[in-house]
Structure 1
């Protein structure tokens, strides 16, 4: 695909998304913090979109990040059958994208997220850890505009964590994911292409898997 065709495809995609959501470019600008003139130039093909532009647009337009990357001409293979949003894209695929963009110096794996979660399990059982979750989770959700498929999972975890009839094991598991999200000890910084909240999503999925195992 030529450079011109890529810019036209991205522009048409963004225009369609704005129309579907009844967003003006000014509205998108206010949500993303990206200047309206910049958005206009990207849509018209007069300016090439940066990677952080695409990530931010996808986040606020509620579409898979890979959809905009593909529209912009990046070679990203989308799963043929998705049971989750692209936030659950295979770790190996995301790892390749991150490495090609020189944003990480080490291999990113689910094992690294799991190690962080284990650190938080006992802390979640302390009064200090509990208070951090209770006090800071709502504001952290608000700070990311409550977007992302993993947010619903976290909200459910928060409600369950606040229940009085949890076992210590269940409270520790729930709290570990909530603390990972709240305390921003991200293995992938939130601003990093292709998806800053990927590790938070993986943390949620790992905890859900362990909760399901313990319930069976």
Structure 2
């Protein structure tokens, strides 16, 4: 993180607080971050951590991409509509930031996500697996505060999974993504926000593509499942 980036971040936070008519104490109440910590960050005496960025983004209504860029990371923001830019809309962008900032190093491989999903496919069709999906999904969504478009896609998958008309094959595939999201076996720890949900987002993308191809196959065979 560059010195200029840190200074830009502090200026941005002060500007957002003023624009939203929120005091540092109020932001502290909303985020659970100590007021003194917020003050140090806003006055460029402390670098923000990923958790701080997540909380600021959520409560100040600013995209993570904007905060990351202000923090000194090389993140490309949509010039036509920067306010609506969302890090979760570009997995490649997030992955690039992770690698360049040494959050992941060489430890993260997309193949690992494929392997974990494969483990959950059969479990999703068991009574225990279905019970966990029914009972624990909403709680996990609340924990992440609905962060990112991949959550909306997961909610759709959840409804499809619960639909009795859904084929076992599709339920198995969709269920694997839901269980990956629910269970604490993430390749990237969830607390490393927003990066902690990168693998969840990738898992959803993988599953969505598989289901799409499977539905195309069904249609070709005259099966509406």
TM bracket (short chain): 0.7 to 0.9
Report the equivalent of 2:199. 199
Q: In structure 2, how many angstroms separate the alpha carbons of the residues matched to 1:60 and 1:149?
A: 17
Q: Which has the higher contact order (CA 8 A, sep 6+)?
A: 1
User: Residues 16, 190 of structure 1: CA spacing in aligned structure 2 closer, same or farther, 3 A cutoff?
Assistant: same
Q: CA RMSD in A?
A: 2.9
Q: Which moved more, 1:173-182 or 1:140-149?
A: 140-149
Q: CA deviation at 1:8?
A: 3.6
Report the equivalent of 1:37. 36
Count of matched residue positions in the alignment of Structure 1 and Structure 2: 214
User: Residues 2, 155 of structure 1: CA spacing in aligned structure 2 closer, same or farther, 3 A cutoff?
Assistant: closer
Report the equivalent of 2:71. 72
- Runs of 5+ in structure 1 lacking a partner? none
Report the equivalent of 1:15. 14
Q: Which moved more, 1:168-177 or 1:9-18?
A: 9-18
Larger radius of gyration between Structure 1 and Structure 2: 2
Q: CA deviation at 1:58?
A: 2.9
Q: CA deviation at 1:152?
A: 1.0
Where 1:11 maps in the other structure, the secondary structure is: helix
User: Residues 18, 164 of structure 1: CA spacing in aligned structure 2 closer, same or farther, 3 A cutoff?
Assistant: farther
| Contact 2:74–2:97, Cα closer than 8 Å, also in 1 | no
Where 1:185 maps in the other structure, the secondary structure is: coil
Q: In structure 2, how many angstroms separate the alpha carbons of the residues matched to 1:81 and 1:187?
A: 34
Where 2:196 maps in the other structure, the secondary structure is: coil
| Contact 1:133–1:178, Cα closer than 8 Å, also in 2 | yes
Q: How does 1:2-151 map to 2 (within 5 A)?
A: 3=3, 5-19=4-18, 23-78=22-77, 85-91=86-92, 94-95=94-95, 97-104=97-104, 106-151=106-151
Per-residue Cα deviation, 1:143-168 (whole angstroms, up to 9, x for no partner): 12222221111111111211111100
Q: In structure 1, how many angstroms separate the alpha carbons of the residues matched to 2:50 and 2:168?
A: 42
Q: In structure 1, how many angstroms separate the alpha carbons of the residues matched to 2:150 and 2:20?
A: 21
| Contact 1:11–1:44, Cα closer than 8 Å, also in 2 | yes
User: Residues 188, 79 of structure 1: CA spacing in aligned structure 2 closer, same or farther, 3 A cutoff?
Assistant: farther
Q: CA deviation at 1:121?
A: 0.8
